[in-house]
Structure 1
Amino acid sequence: MAYMTQPDYVKYVCSCGQIKPITSLYFCRHCLQIRCGFCICHEVDSHYCANCLENMPSSEARLKKNRCSSCFECPSCFHTLSTRATLAQPRQTPEQGSGDSKVENKQAKKMYYLSCFNCRWTSRDVGIPDQPVASGGWPERVNPNATRVNQLLDYYKAIAQQEKQEKLDRERKKFAIRGKYITLTDKTGLTGAMARNIAGLPSSESTMSAIANFVPSVASAEVEELSEEFYTKELNLNQITSMAQRLAAPEWQPSSVARLYPVAKLLSVKRSQRCRACDHNLTKPEYNPGSIKFKIELLAFYHVPEVKIISCEPVRAGGVCQLLLKLSNPTAHEMQLRLLQPADLPQPGAEPDKAQPDTLHSLDTSLEKSLNLDKEEVWRETVQREACVAATCRMLTPDLALTLAQRDDAAEYDDDATHDANDIIMWRKSNKVALRLQVECAAGAAGAATAALALQYRYRNAVPAHEPRDHTLHATLLLHLGDICG
């Protein structure tokens, strides 16, 4: 008997056809569907530094180029640099009228420098002077190509503004019908220049001047020849930077170790995830960067029945083996569950629960009130694709209705389990039940042993708090049982 409790051995089929473990899936309580990373929109809520936990808005993070101003990474090994303190000795000045030296009556001043505890790199290695403050105040290097980069940015912004204005003019001429207004400026008489000034956008004159004054780069056929040192000087690999060290500073790309400067630490983001079908939030973290809690956390692990493989006999071609499964109810309500074959599930276009038309009407109403975001055509094609569940074994599902109790955190520490006098149910414990199932492998099969299983479970939706609704939902699973023995 081989124990297989890892999550990769049991995978769930998403509504878009992707096959993922339950720890990588989400559950939307508004459209009652399982969602994966391809079925959701990722939105950035806030930017913060993972080292000092400084929080900043998106506009400030954009100005700082998504880097922290007080935390740095080692340019050699990319570990976080630490600030070390040292005492600066007072200077000695010659006394007036004599050649003797006299120490000024001053206390030693505390100075700070950056040091790496991993590779022992310090800011003194490249000649960066010590600073009188521990954070901030470190000198910033100026990009030698900053002027040219700003010119390119202004030029491409002007091109984008010009194309947008030309597109708007074409649309205005296309719908130039009496009594019809394509924009608010046509109706109110507000000119385009006034609207741009109110919105803070550049005027058309500045846009045209930026395009006219732009000097394009000219390629040159003459290439500067290499000096004789490249052929005669002995190469020392310890003094040459690696490719990762050069790409960490793309503005300068230092070629020698003596030119490595501290790299500002990149900012991390807190993101919220939104369902692409109904535009409701699936996960939303707290704004505080030091908090690990979520305001909304609709993970499939908390709403969909969890299936684990306790043990499985070796799978042989043309034979039948025993499989021990453990099913858990993660919700706070009692759940009815049945095991089915994937072919017995209703079609995706069918209604999930015909017995409750009011629930479907309420869902349609909530969808109409949701945000009207544009859905990508690529995602629509992905949703219409059916899942490719290729199973080499067939699981013999019993015609048995199971009832799982609600989750009780206190019962997790109870070791008492109820043993039923049943060939299928081995034991029950709180919200868990262990089943003994049969897996049949076809004759001549070879390779990996996989079996498909479908779950039909009753889910109570508590989104409308005043009237909770019960829904009959389905989930398809793919179980990996090892390799088929000859």
Structure 2
Amino acid sequence: MAYLTQLDYVKYVCSCGQLKPITNLYFCRHCLKIRCGFCICHEVDSHYCANCLENMPSSEARLKKNRCSSCFDCPSCFHTLSTRATFAQPRQDPAAGDAKVENKQAKKMYYLSCFNCRWTSRDVGIPDQPVASGGWPERTNPYTARINQLLDYYKAIAQQEKQEKLDRERKKFAIRGKYITLTDKTGLTGAMARNIAGLPSSESSSSAIANFVPSVASAEVEELPEDYHLREVNLKQVSTMAQRLAAPEWQPGDVARLQPVARPLSVKRSQRCRDCDHNLTKPEYNPGSIKFKIELLAFYHVPEVKIISHESVKAGQVADLLLKVTNPTAHEMTLRILRPADSAEEVPAPPEDQEPRSIEKSLEKSLNLEKDTSWSKVIERKPEMPTVSQICVPEVTLTLAQRDDAAEYDDDPQHETSDIILWRKSNKLALRLKVTTDPTAEVGKPAQVAFRLQYSYRNTVPPSAQSVQHRDHTLNTTVILDLGSVCE
């Protein structure tokens, strides 16, 4: 007998065909389907610093290159640097007397220190600052102007190629007396469309191409010093690959040239169902809060199945299986255990000889700035059901009580004399099932069991703003249990 409570032994089949534990799944109350991380779309709600909990809008985070201006990471061990205070004695002027020095008070100065590896900003010669945050000097990359020039040049090239392609398509599919593009129909010029889309104008693109100075390769290379190959290498003074990649603008080769790294910002994201475009999770805007405005996890809506224990699975024999089923909802639920749906609906594949979308519609859509929703389609796959072992399905309908938080402290379950139900406790139910293994099963082959769980669900989301009536649904989900491997 083995006691299995790990989540990897019980997996649910998502609506897209992925196998995931119930804690990694979501439940959409609008389309009544189980969703995983691959069949939902993610949206960034806000940017914040995980150290100082400063919240900032997306535009400001983009200007700061997604970095916090007041928090830094250690360039040596990548832990968060702390600000430490010290008192700096005033400098003594030789021309003045000692009386003037005594009247001056010690000035409070700040420096950065790492409590993990004891690295400080003084080790690399960074002067102490009179303010605790916001006054640290920023290093400027000497190649910033050249990098910006290259970015503008390649953006202009891409814009020019796109415009040339649109012009060729207009000339190729020109039809007299018919509006081909939105420009011909409404008089919207290309410059106006680019301004609406936030793209650079054609004049700026042409000037960026004309003013670009290409790089010229030099045949003269700086020679290495004579003692380069004979010099002893001290690994303590050489930076590691991780330390260099932490600052890709400079990539310091020596430890003495390491500089504090601005802490990257974290994001709070919301998740939407790709089918009905409703929110599945939406966090609070406050970065210090861990609560959610919307949290539609499958753990709160779909009955949870756990393996209590099971006998060793042997070829041609029947093994006992004990399962625990929990009702997480606040309404009474009825359950039925069925065989896996052999006649599940398959998503028809698009025909190969399907006609492509007309160029007129594509051009009108590109100039109309219409939102493209082709990415929102979910790729559904049919998972392969295990056939080595099968559950003897009982022809009974089970009833589970609603969730009661006060009943969690009741330690006395109600034992029953049924052949299937072992005991009941509040919203939990223990089942005794039989697992039959194929006589031709190979020893050592994974022993997995699949069954379809049919349950009732009460949807508390009203169908309209005027209606407040709840709706009851009968839903199905496929559960796959991992019972180890086939024994001798």
Same fold (TM over 0.5): yes
Q: Which runs of 5+ in 1 are unaligned?
A: 351-370
2:393 maps to amino acid: T
Q: What's 2:476 paired with? A: 474
Q: CA deviation at 1:190?
A: 5.4
SS at match of 2:229: helix
Partner of 2:443: 446
Match of 1:433 among 426, 429, 435: 429
Aligned to 1:75: 75
Separation (CA, whole Å) in 2 of partners of 1:349 and 1:460: 27
247-256 or 205-214, which deviates more = 205-214
Q: Distance in 2 between matches of 1:302 and 1:373?
A: 33
- Which residue does the alignment assign to 2:357? none
Q: Which stretch shifts more, 74-83 or 446-455? A: 446-455
Which residue of 108, 117, 120 corresponds with 1:119?
A: 117
Q: Matched residues in 2 for 1:146 and 1:426: separation?
A: 71
Q: Which letter maps to 2:413?
A: A
User: By how many angstroms is 1:195 displaced?
Assistant: 5.9
Q: What's the secondary structure of 1:134's corresponding residue?
A: coil
Separation of aligned partners in 2, 1:324 and 1:197 = 65
* Residue in structure 2 matched with residue 357 of structure 1 by the alignment: none
1:59 is matched by which residue type in structure 2?
S
CA distance 1:195–1:395, shift in 2 (3 Å): closer
Alpha-carbon distance in structure 1 between the residues aligned to 2:461 and 2:42? 22
- 3-state SS of the aligned residue for 1:163? helix
User: TM-score scaled to structure 1, two decimals?
Assistant: 0.89
Match of 1:245 among 226, 239, 243: 243
**1:345/1:302 CA distance change after superposition, 3 Å:** farther
| Aligned-pair identity (%) | 73
Helix, strand or coil for the counterpart of 2:454?
A: strand
Amino acid at match of 1:289: P
Question: Structure 1 residues 372, 423: closer, same or farther in 2, change over 3 A?
Answer: farther
Q: Is the 8 A contact 1:175 1:182 kept in 2?
A: no
SS in 1 for 2:77: coil
User: Where does residue 274 of structure 2 map in the other structure?
Assistant: 276
Using structure 2 for the length normalisation, give the TM-score: 0.88
Deviation (angstroms), 1:278: 1.5
Which amino acid in the other structure matches residue 375 of structure 1? S
- 1:49/1:266 contact within 8 Å kept: yes
Query: Pick from 297, 317, 320: which aligns with 1:319?
Result: 317
- Alignment deviations for residues 171-199 of structure 1 (CA, whole Å, 9 cap, x no partner): 6554665463733x545545444665677
Q: Which residue of 1 aligns with 2:21?
A: 21
Find the aligned partners of 1:457 and 1:33 in 2 and give their Cα distance. Answer: 13
* Equivalent in the alignment of 1:330: 328
Aligned to 1:419: 415
- Deviation, 1:462, is 1.5
Is the Cα contact below 8 Å between 1:112 and 1:130 reproduced in 2? yes
Counterpart amino acid of 2:26?
Y
Matches within 5 A, 1:48-63: 48-63=48-63
The answer as to whether partners of 2:460 and 2:471 remain within 8 angstroms in 1 is yes
State the one-letter code of the partner of 2:301: H
Q: Which moved more, 1:191-200 or 1:5-14?
A: 191-200
What secondary structure does 1:288 align onto?
coil
Cα distance in 2 for residues equivalent to 1:127 and 1:83: 16
Aligned length: 460
Q: Does the aligned pair in 2 maintain the 1:345–1:474 contact within 8 Å? A: no
- Whole-angstrom CA distance in 1 between matches of 2:426 and 2:343: 28
Alignment of structure 1 residues 233-312 onto 2, 5 Å: 233-312=231-310
Asked whether the 8 Å contact 1:11–1:478 carries over to 2, the reply is yes
Distance in 1 (alpha carbons) for counterparts of 2:87 and 2:76: 26
- Between stretches 209-218 and 233-242, larger displacement belongs to 209-218
What is the letter of the counterpart of residue 54 of structure 1? Answer: E
- State the AA in 2 paired with 1:65: K
Hey, what's the Cα distance between the residues in 2 that align with 1:188 and 1:482?
67
* Pair 1:460-2:458 in alignment: yes
What SS class does the counterpart of residue 437 from structure 1 fall into?
Answer: strand
Aligned pair in 2 of structure 1 residues 222, 22: CA closer, same or farther (>3 Å)? farther
Cross-structure match for 2:384: 388
Cα distance in structure 2, aligned partners of 1:273 and 1:65: 24
SS in 1 for 2:93: strand
Task: Name the residue aligned to 1:358.
Answer: none
Cα distance in 2 for partners of 1:229, 1:406 equals 80
Q: Deviations over 1:407-440 (max 9, x none)?
A: 1111111223211111110111111100011112
Aligned to 1:154: 152
SS at match of 2:228: helix
Find the aligned partners of 2:459 and 2:9 in 1 and give their Cα distance. Answer: 29
5+ residue gaps, structure 2: 349-369
Let me know the Cα RMSD of the aligned residues. Answer: 2.4
Change in Cα spacing, 1:175 to 1:405, as seen in structure 2 (3 Å) is farther
2:247 counterpart SS class: coil
Change (3 A) 1:170 1:30: farther
Match of 2:103 among 94, 102, 105: 105
Q: The residue matched to 2:415 in structure 1 has which SS?
A: coil
Structure 1 residues 31 and 147, CA, compared in 2 at 3 Å: closer, same or farther? same
Question: 2:374 is matched with which residue?
Answer: 375
| Contact 1:241–1:257 (CA under 8 A) maintained in structure 2 | yes
SS for the counterpart of 1:455 is strand
Q: Partner residue of 2:46?
A: 46
In 2: Cα distance, 1:391 partner to 1:224 partner: 69
In structure 1, the partner of 2:88 is 88
Choose 215-224 or 278-287, whichever is displaced more: 215-224
**SS in structure 2 at match of 1:112:** strand
Worse overlay, 198-207 or 336-345: 198-207
